[in-house]
Amino acid sequence: MANIINQVSRTFNEYLIIPGLTTKQHTPDAVNLQSPLVRYKKNETPGISLNTPFVSAIMQSVSDSKLAIALAKEGGLSFIFGSQSIEDQAGMVMEVKKYKAGFVESRANITPENTLKDIIALKEKTGFSTVGVTDNGEPSGKLLGIVTSRDYRISRDDSEKKVKDFMTPIENMITAKDGISLGEANDIIWEYKLNQLPIVDENHNLKYFVFRKDYDSHKRNPNELLDSNKRLMVGAGINTRDYRDRIPALIDAGVDVLCIDSSDGFSEWQKETIEYVRKQYGNDIFIGAGNVVDKDGFLYLAEAGADFIKVGVGGGSICITREQKGIGRGQATALIDVAEARNKYFEETGEYVPICSDGGIVQDYHMTLALTMGADFLMMGRYFARFDESPTRKLLVGGNYVKEYWGEGSNRARNWQRYDMGGNSNLKFEEGVDSYVPYAGKLKDNLEQTLGKIKSTMCSCGVSTLKQLQSKAKITLVSSTSIIEGGAHDVIIKDVDN
């Protein structure tokens, strides 16, 4: 007979955090939510750390370039969904990498001999309104001038007019030498009231642009998750079928981290995919794997070389894997088990492999419980699908505004590469549903409120970092009646309209 595990499989809803001593130093503004995203060795710094311990799910209805930009600006990270063509997914990654930077490589360039018609076509193709004019039209050519939307009027100017006749020539521009710091470049921008500052080398070849708008954006978003070139960071989901073609394209697009997207991470397919990355790129490319629900699954992927491991099977709000296949585990139990394995692995090997809790979040306080139980960060779909920045339609249904939300295992997504294990195509079945979620507004506004709750709970526990939360906080099981006691009860709730 099968190996029977008599331990109860528990959910987040069955636990509460017991308050600790809150000292005067434990205030929300003193809480640091930074957390490692990828594997690192003892006494070393992770290659990527999140400023906000949230990542968005690898789903068509959640993670496109628009949401990735919004979340990275708040310190989290999105994994662009992989159930689309390689070209489209790489394009979304590029959109995020182009959005924000301190020193921006010029991606829209032209020669003086080109025409206004060429400028208009270039703007339509790239979306950039600032065009570098170089001697050879290349991004690293000798800078001769720039063209912005203020240099021409489409309704008045001849489309065959030469760029050299309406560009701002180099002699009328302020430039800076390569090697200047971002702070110094921004000082020049402010002193001379510039919108952009070209950076050139000793031969006057164009290297970068620094834009005023990027400075303003960073001041509004101090927790931005940026790479070494001050660009927003972004991840991408991959499968175990076309990874040999998909991964190189995503790397060329500038992706910062990959994640294998599967309902079953404890598999040889994932090990082979990780081995491919290590053979082709060594440790220069980060790749996460999963999902798993116990120590054995964690150790298999950790020893295979995964940079982080996702925990959770069947706990997502639109996931019906447990109903369809009878497989999975309560999210709290799974997370506690894997966290213990992660800690023991760290003690034995000196390598820390972050774990990501994926699924099982119903209330905001469940996020804090997941972090307390050992998760380094959380992957969420429903939470992010509700916001303006998610890719789905906002609809009025039954007098309430909602947004569409569907699972990757649903017929709508048709992401069979994620779930199919081969064999007869007639055996395929759904593991996700098509649904709506209540519309909630802007990501930034909602995220600030959610993080405020997490920070407040941490203060009540007398801790200021996630590591302290995991090592010092106390958790208790709750009865079904105490769950009822924890909500409003024995009162008549006022009608909000009265």
Q: Report the alpha-carbon distance of residue 258 to residue 485 in Å, rounded.
A: 43
Buried b (16+ CB within 10 A) or exposed e, 432-459: bbebbbebbeebbebbeebbeebbebbb
Distance CA 220, CA 367 (A): 25
Distance (Å, whole) CA 273 – CA 10: 32
Q: Give the position of tokens 């979620």.
A: 437
The one catalytic residue among 39, 231, 329, 418: 418
What are the CA-CA distances from residue 167 to residues 43, 119, 131, 209, 443 (Å)? Answer: 53, 11, 9, 16, 39
User: By three-state DSSP, how is residue 287 classified?
Assistant: strand
- Enumerate residues 6+ apart whose C-beta is below 8 A from 114: 137, 162, 163
Residues paired with 25 in a beta bridge: none
Q: Whole-angstrom Cα distance, residue 444 to residue 389?
A: 10
Per the annotation, the verdict on 259 as an active-site residue is no
Is 319 tagged catalytic?
A: yes
Catalytic residue, from 259, 319, 356, 461: name it.
319
- Where do we find the tokens 């309704």? 155
Contact by Cβ (8 Å): 434, 423: no
Catalytic residues, by residue number, are 319, 418
